[in-house]
Structure 1
Amino acid sequence: MRDEVRRILGIEDPFEQLRRATTSITAAQEEVTELARLRRRIIEDLRRQGLSYADIAQQAGLSRGRIHQIRQQGPSVEGAFLGAGSVTIVTPLKQEAIKARPVVAAEDVAGSQRLGELARSLRLEPHFENIPVGGEIDLNRPNLLVICGPRISEAVAQVLKQDTRFQFQRADDGPWTLVDRESGTVYRSGQDETPQRDWDVAYLGRLPRPDGEGSLVIFTGIHPQGSLGVVDLICNRISDLYSEVRDSNFSVLVGTAYDHETNEPDHVHLLTPFHRLENS
């Protein structure tokens, strides 16, 4: 019998016992799911190295049929791009211009819900959270997906500064831009051009947490339409993204052409190569 079970059995308060048992079951289920994802990833990696299912089965002490079952029924390995077990999807509250109420951009609401649906399809449990007006947030937590830029949160700005290649910078005439320091290219949103066009640029990366004890996924467009473009990229091409970067730290810039009326992405593409960052 596991020590945790013994501890729960020893609790006298039945309500506390019920809470602890429920929490432990949830954690155990998440652990089983992630171990199953790991098994599938190992089998896929060994297959890419040229080993047959029979070779893998023999060396692992399992039947060939069991190896096939793990490969076909285990949780999708690309779920690791988002996190493990459960993920927290964070969007910022912004001050409404007219009534000064805190609101969330419609594109951020749509994007967080789509990411939540994707997480569930990958057997991850999504949770949702807002950065309050003022931008204060604890980023030293596992499995964070943060949809926010440097203008809204200083904590987020400090994390983004770790990327020495791609940086947000204000143009001389005021608007934010994204700069590729390696190539010298300055990317400007179509909303900030003359004449305007329905196009935006966004940053997507996995960067070290402030405490250096892990990483977080962070992305944001210069405008909300760019953020929604990144969501579209993740939801439709997560297998490609995972194959490219696995769970390592990286950054890349993403361009989004969007519908003028709905702000929905029409065409999303990578503007730069993937930039590899040192892992924590």
Structure 2
Amino acid sequence: MIVSFIQELHARGVSHAQIAEQAGLPRGRIHQIKHTGPAPEDAFPGTGTITPATPLKREAGNARPVVAMGDVTAAKRVEDLARPDRNGNVLVFTGIHPQGALGAVDLLTSEIAPVWGQVGENRFPAVVGVEYDPAIGEPVRAEPASPLYRHEET
């Protein structure tokens, strides 16, 4: 808990020196406490299996359900983050366009430390704004379009 609090403050731009001063501890101790847990990129997906859920979309011409290739690509990228042990989490990525799911994954992989600093191990929804290159369908920029809200366990 204290590790996530320190990580959250640091992700918000508070320096280790400022945290140490407020806590009445040496700066080195704050740095040590912050780094006792797993790295954000290791802790975020958890230690269990990640089951990416890809949404079905309707084909325009005949309303047949299909899975967009961008959603499959996003699911594969999420799968690459996991260390499977069959006891994991479900992540659902969906967007107005498949590039939205790719952008969400891009945001998680490139900005994992600040995201982890805000949400830790809690569940959270996110709205992500994505700019993408239409020639290749890949995101060129992704950023949160809303605050990250933690779902507290009850």
1:23-66, Cα deviation, whole Å (9 max, x unpaired): xxxxxxxxxxxxxxxxxx69x87x8764656xx8xxxxxxxxxx
Q: For 1:246 and 1:91, how far apart are their aligned partners in 2?
A: 24
SS at match of 1:222: coil
Q: Alpha carbon RMSD of aligned pairs, Å?
A: 3.6
In the alignment, is residue 83 of structure 1 matched against residue 46 of structure 2? yes
Residues 49, 88 of structure 2: 8 Å contact kept: no
Following superposition of structure 1 onto structure 2, how do residues 1-40 of structure 1 map, counting pairs within 5 Å? none
Task: In structure 2, give the amino acid aligned to 1:83.
Answer: G
1:97 shift after superposition = 5.3
TM-score (norm 1): 0.39
Aligned to 1:113: 76
SS at match of 2:107: helix
In the alignment, is residue 231 of structure 1 matched against residue 97 of structure 2? no
1:225 shift after superposition = 1.4
Aligned to 1:242: 116
Aligned to 2:84: 125
Residues 89, 126 of structure 1: 8 Å contact kept: no
Q: For 1:85 and 1:76, how far apart are their aligned partners in 2?
A: 16
The count of corresponding residues between Structure 1 and Structure 2 is 134
Aligned to 1:255: 129
Q: For 2:107 and 2:49, how far apart are their aligned partners in 1?
A: 21
Q: For 2:73 and 2:65, how far apart are their aligned partners in 1?
A: 17
Task: Work out which structure has the larger RCO, using CA pairs closer than 8 Å and 6 or more positions apart in sequence.
Answer: 2
1:107 shift after superposition = 0.5
Task: In structure 1, give the amino acid aligned to 2:84.
Answer: E
Task: In structure 2, give the amino acid aligned to 1:232.
Answer: D
Change (3 A) 1:274 1:95: closer
The higher radius of gyration belongs to 1
Q: For 1:88 and 1:260, how far apart are their aligned partners in 2?
A: 28
Residue ranges of structure 2 left out of the alignment (5+ in a row): 8-15
Aligned to 2:11: none
1:162-185, Cα deviation, whole Å (9 max, x unpaired): xxxxxxxxxxxxxxxxxxxxxxxx
SS at match of 1:110: helix
Percent identity reads 40
Q: For 2:116 and 2:103, how far apart are their aligned partners in 1?
A: 18
Residues 116, 126 of structure 1: 8 Å contact kept: no
Change (3 A) 1:117 1:250: closer
Following superposition of structure 1 onto structure 2, how do residues 71-220 of structure 1 map, counting pairs within 5 Å? 75-94=38-57, 96=59, 103-119=66-82, 124-125=83-84, 142-147=88-93, 220=94
SS at match of 2:125: strand
SS at match of 2:42: helix
Residues 119, 149 of structure 2: 8 Å contact kept: no
1:222 shift after superposition = 1.9
Task: In structure 2, give the amino acid aligned to 1:125.
Answer: P
Residues 82, 145 of structure 1: 8 Å contact kept: no
In the alignment, is residue 275 of structure 1 matched against residue 149 of structure 2? yes
Residues 87, 126 of structure 1: 8 Å contact kept: no
Residues 51, 79 of structure 2: 8 Å contact kept: no
